[in-house]
Structure 1
């Protein structure tokens, strides 16, 4: 039986419909809030015009959702009894946890992410979405429609967590491990799906790899300005390790095995991430993912993913040059060993190094160097002894602090600049704006410091309270 269309503030008992969150392949998703408890849930309502085949998919999505329990897969909830009457054509409703931080597409669309997400955000995505995909595959489920719009964000105890949603196109492998029909989002689909060939879990590897690349660089890897029907014919003969294809000024397709600059990734993580993408973006579905590890029976791509996530990387800002240096730490590596690496790269002798945490507190030489690594990545600050400055930056130092000449040199070492022109207009503007903003604030802060002519930073008259005050100000830059 048909129902009247939804209206803002429609009430179902104690539940008030607040807004429409979005539209999926099979229906609309609405936000409902309980007026008594303030609980919020997302309710997916099937569209009237679904044919019999899609109605079956709708029912299958609900069945799949109800049996899944994982932090990185959105959780199904019981449909409140007061809402039962709004179901259309006797098709059940799907109630889910409400994720209030939007989706990955919204995050990627922010101007500051035009060159990709911050390194810490990329690592969080790898951890969360990778864990969710492995869970689905362990439960014999292929998602088949992974894309930024189907990754939602939720704040859990102050930490942003990624969750996979929209299993309407998911395939339960208990119904047969090889599938031959699909209608979904084309830009993230594996090549074999366009050709109507049989496929397995490796289609999710391709979609995940495409998302990883986009999160690292800000655009999709293969001729992203073309429709899939156009780019698949041009990319079909790419090399097994190629992870990107762009058209040069003459319209010729050029391939690369590397991630392009500019991006926000440290050199320490670039090579392993490129290796991961080379496994996930193989054209041959049989080779994609690297096969299974003979000992652990885990796909090689996820074994490499675990290695990346277990890496302890420290970013060190040289406060005299504003350059960021990144180092990979072993689990028990001492601070002395880290300082030797710093000396080799910066020519600042070990005895002249001062390593400060974001709070201004010096590192404890008795503890391992990993004392400064939280959630895998953190910045510390390097000053030469006797020239301690109050300049600091909370979180990761943006790559825009390097001069554009340095960025340009990095680009030319990775990929001809002409191949990146279509992607860099907005990127260059953003980098220049960030440079100008930082330098103006840095100048203001240094002027404030030097105005205290009667005080010496290293002298006895220097107030530690005043130093901490300046550190606090610099952390807001």
Structure 2
């Protein structure tokens, strides 16, 4: 046990260790409060005095929720070693989060945004106080669980920090080599003499590497054999990186360098967020300090992301879920354009449903009028332009599973088990996404067909009931009625199929089977993790270890079999069926629109006929009136002309026809709004 005046800790409770100090979990002697104590070793006192006290001075100057708090500076009783008493973060470091197998391919999107928000806020506080950290990395970002269960990340370890204004430079070298700016790497790691000075933007390079690591689960720059085994190639990758590239790898010994301008397909971030994040990474992972963004632009661009709201949109035509990032003050027109950028569905071809109701989005309104969405309750986008659904793009987790070596090697077996488990968690995540995609496909199409979709059919059905009155249009409307009856039958059958398939999706137990395999694999993995710390195994323990390796392999094979044969195959089958149903819906809707246009044309023709009939009747009535006037004037003359009997009969017949047309016109007027509805898209109040 070791202690200061107010705090007590055991050396077994080690949280972290560096070149000049060790960090332990400790308790306040009076209150029992958990804290972290940083105890400096003998080597730390060999540094200049100003360097020794710099960390105390920096921490005393800082006060922010995303910076680990300094509570006190004390000394141990006997050796009088300096001790920093700091806030204890029970969630470990961001590095420990990323090293967990479930995050082998990066953090989930919501957690990544929490990391981004916390790092940006903490760095902003540092710059407001003219502090350069010089050792930003996942291991120096601690995680604390908030009162509501949310993650809070805090910057820590200010041993290399110092005060530095934006226009100032420094020459001393600190940091961790994988996250080190190439200019500093050249001198600190390769030991090459150079006269370069460094500015505050070196922190931006480290932030870029850290954010890439958090988004993907791996480092952006990886030579063959790893960064620490091939340092010269590591330096080459970072310095030869083309503008715009955010990652570079060498996949075989002495092989070519491969550059990437996008995040890998295994990344769990949405394309909407990736499109916002990649330009930031490209501009802060810039070797030349003159071309690298400054902190002002970095804060502006990251704040722009963090201030946006997310609208979840499921494209029925693509069978893909999108996260659209927009500002709340944007107009809906801007939202529609953002959807177009992600889906290639032009705004004029976009129709939306939300929770089974038609959702009409007025372009001039604020985006705040869009309903609150979630991944399980998105806006459903229907494209009037037919296309083949592509579905979720993903990499088969089987490609990321290594094999165990026959020889017992505790460290290698642990690493292999960790990789296999990481691929298993990726399969679990993908299985959930595929199953959710099937549900959204079926639910969205069912809503469109049965609940909110095909309003033209309902209106046409009402119009066919008028065919006995619309005698001039009886034949055309009869054909419409026949088409509608067939369409109703077809859509009723489609609705039944959709409901049947939704029931099958709900009954799917493949995710539970994958989870069961993972749980069993986790137990073996934890045993491997424990065993690797031992110098060796006894005979019986080694036999058990070998059996565990065999069982681990069987479980991994079973997990992938369930994923491929149940999750992927069912999803692919569902995707093909979804495409067939989408084509059927498109064809039906286009046919109904053609019928709708025909009925509208018939209505116009009937109205024109009525107007022409009225004009003819007016002319005949006027002529008949003139004839009767002349007859009255010459009534005493025996030879006075009489109105033509044929003309009288025609007038009477026309009057009867006109009265009949007026009655028909009343019926047409009463139902005119129905016919007009056939020539424009249906509308409904916003959800």
Q: Same fold (TM over 0.5)?
A: yes
On the 8 A contact 2:221/2:237 being kept in 1, the answer is: no
In structure 1, what is the equivalent of residue 241 of structure 2? 238
In structure 1, what is the equivalent of residue 97 of structure 2? 107
State the SS of the aligned residue for 1:200.
coil
- Show CA shifts across 1:429-477 (max 9, x none): 4433444567789999xxxxxxxxxxx999xxxxxxxxxxx99xx9x98
Once the two structures are superposed, the pairs formed by residues 352-371 of structure 1 within 5 Å of their partners are 353-355=353-355, 368-369=368-369
Mapped to 1, the partners of 2:4 and 2:436 lie a distance apart of 53
In structure 2, what is the equivalent of residue 184 of structure 1? 175
Mapped to 1, the partners of 2:346 and 2:99 lie a distance apart of 36
**How far has the Cα of 1:274 moved from its partner?**
0.9
Distance 1:37 1:204, change over 3 A: same
On the 8 A contact 1:26/1:58 being kept in 2, the answer is: no
Mapped to 2, the partners of 1:286 and 1:48 lie a distance apart of 40
**How far has the Cα of 1:155 moved from its partner?**
1.9
In structure 1, what is the equivalent of residue 427 of structure 2? 432
1:32 matched to 2:31? The reply is no
- More helix as a share of residues: 2
Distance 1:108 1:312, change over 3 A: same
Say which of 264, 283, 305 aligns to 2:268.
264
Once the two structures are superposed, the pairs formed by residues 115-154 of structure 1 within 5 Å of their partners are 115-154=105-144
In structure 1, what is the equivalent of residue 309 of structure 2? 312
- Show CA shifts across 1:233-267 (max 9, x none): 24322222221111245711021222222211222
State the SS of the aligned residue for 1:372.
coil
Distance 1:307 1:364, change over 3 A: same
In structure 2, what is the equivalent of residue 281 of structure 1? 285
**How far has the Cα of 1:320 moved from its partner?**
11
Once the two structures are superposed, the pairs formed by residues 189-200 of structure 1 within 5 Å of their partners are 189-196=180-187, 197-200=196-199
On the 8 A contact 1:311/1:329 being kept in 2, the answer is: yes
In structure 1, what is the equivalent of residue 77 of structure 2? 86
In structure 2, what is the equivalent of residue 466 of structure 1? none
Larger radius of gyration: 2
Mean Cα deviation higher: 54-63 or 133-142: 54-63
- Show CA shifts across 1:310-369 (max 9, x none): 22222245799973122233414688997996998599x98872338xxxx999999934
1:215 matched to 2:225? The reply is no
On the 8 A contact 2:36/2:86 being kept in 1, the answer is: yes
Mapped to 2, the partners of 1:352 and 1:278 lie a distance apart of 35
Mapped to 1, the partners of 2:145 and 2:271 lie a distance apart of 29
On the 8 A contact 1:76/1:95 being kept in 2, the answer is: yes
TM-score w.r.t. length of structure 1: 0.70
Mean Cα deviation higher: 19-28 or 243-252: 243-252
Unaligned runs of 5+ in 1: 1-6, 292-297, 386-400, 410-423, 445-455, 459-469
Mapped to 2, the partners of 1:121 and 1:353 lie a distance apart of 29
Distance 1:57 1:180, change over 3 A: same
Distance 1:182 1:68, change over 3 A: same
1:46 matched to 2:45? The reply is no
**How far has the Cα of 1:67 moved from its partner?**
1.5
State the SS of the aligned residue for 1:327.
strand
In structure 2, what is the equivalent of residue 407 of structure 1? 394
In structure 2, what is the equivalent of residue 300 of structure 1? 297
Distance 1:87 1:31, change over 3 A: farther
**How far has the Cα of 1:55 moved from its partner?**
6.2
RMSD: 4.4
Mapped to 2, the partners of 1:47 and 1:101 lie a distance apart of 26
In structure 2, what is the equivalent of residue 202 of structure 1? 201
Mapped to 2, the partners of 1:144 and 1:34 lie a distance apart of 31
In structure 2, what is the equivalent of residue 170 of structure 1? 161
**How far has the Cα of 1:54 moved from its partner?**
6.4
On the 8 A contact 2:216/2:263 being kept in 1, the answer is: yes
Distance 1:442 1:171, change over 3 A: closer
Mapped to 2, the partners of 1:304 and 1:262 lie a distance apart of 25
On the 8 A contact 2:314/2:381 being kept in 1, the answer is: no
In structure 2, what is the equivalent of residue 328 of structure 1? 325
Mapped to 2, the partners of 1:139 and 1:172 lie a distance apart of 8
Mapped to 2, the partners of 1:71 and 1:363 lie a distance apart of 41
On the 8 A contact 1:352/1:384 being kept in 2, the answer is: yes
Mapped to 2, the partners of 1:101 and 1:369 lie a distance apart of 38
Distance 1:152 1:384, change over 3 A: closer
Mean Cα deviation higher: 219-228 or 236-245: 219-228
In structure 2, what is the equivalent of residue 452 of structure 1? none
Say which of 66, 88, 91 aligns to 1:98.
88
1:20 matched to 2:11? The reply is no
In structure 1, what is the equivalent of residue 61 of structure 2? 67
- Show CA shifts across 1:19-65 (max 9, x none): 22221332111212236533221111111233521665332111211
On the 8 A contact 2:243/2:282 being kept in 1, the answer is: yes
**How far has the Cα of 1:306 moved from its partner?**
1.3
On the 8 A contact 2:15/2:24 being kept in 1, the answer is: yes
Distance 1:87 1:41, change over 3 A: farther
Mapped to 1, the partners of 2:433 and 2:33 lie a distance apart of 42
**How far has the Cα of 1:151 moved from its partner?**
0.1
On the 8 A contact 1:331/1:370 being kept in 2, the answer is: no
Distance 1:432 1:345, change over 3 A: farther
